[in-house]
Amino acid sequence: MLCIVENPKSIPTFVLSILTQFLKSLIMDTKKFISQIVDFLNVMFNVETTKKRKVVRMTVDQLRDFLLNWNKSWGAQPASIQYVTEPALVAEGKEKFGKVVKFGAVQAMLAYNYEDNVNAQRKREGKAETFESEALWNGYGEVLNPCIAKRKVTKTRQKNGEKFKVETGEVIFYLRYRYLKGMKALHFDAAMNFLPKALIQPFFKPYYAPKKQDVDKAIDARTLKLENIRRLRFKRMEIQVIPA
């Protein structure tokens, strides 16, 4: 039976109990596990069904190629993104919880122009439209188009007491998007025990708005590893990403 929870302020206890028991008893088949969690998120977030959408299943590599060949005629597009990540915790949080997995969803804007958005905000605040973006990841990143960026993976080496970075030759691809609104997220530890937000939130690394924008209302530019995306919805399309 499907139960839709509209605008949930908290997750019902019975739902958490069922979900927790399911997770603990589930054999760790990653693809099945991710699929079940995504279906659960659809119920919790009351997401629009896919009946009216064109559903396409893609590998991570196919998603990369799709974004690299983004149809310019689409322009910027509002979207919803479902993802699986490991949130950044402070040292105390890592010691207390160990590995934490986050299942979440956000409303976002794809293929937007970062500099134009910031300068438009500066104009609204009566400031000069002089903002220019900096190189990604201290020069190890590259924006390939408004939708996608890549980062060269580096390792820290030490010689004669001095530390320096060397490139490994590996490249990671990221979705670029403007964050608009977050939806309720679920957090679990390595044993798949549910972690309430009130318990784990104090241990998240703090978010700092970019100072270089010099605006009162910052444009929240974010990136997300393609391999962490599970579903991407925009226009009349839903892309379901097959975990590697």
* pLDDT tens digits, one per residue of 162-213: 888 889 999 999 999 999 999 889 999 999 899 998 999 999 998 887 889 9
The DSSP bridge partners found for residue 107 are: 80, 181
* pLDDT tens digits, one per residue of 123-164: 999 999 999 999 899 899 999 999 999 999 999 888 888 888
Mean pLDDT lowest among 49-53, 114-118, 194-198, 218-222: 49-53
Q: What is the rounded distance in angstroms from the CA atom of residue 35 to the CA atom of residue 25?
A: 16
Q: For the chain, give the longest Cα–Cα distance.
A: 65
DSSP state for residue 89 in the 8-state scheme: B
Can you give the pTM of this predicted structure? Answer: 0.78
Residues in Cβ contact with 67 at an 8 Å cutoff, skipping those fewer than 6 apart:
145, 147, 148, 175, 226
Say whether 40 sits in a helix, a strand or coil: helix
Cα Rg for the chain, rounded, in angstroms?
20
Structure tokens at 171: 């490249």
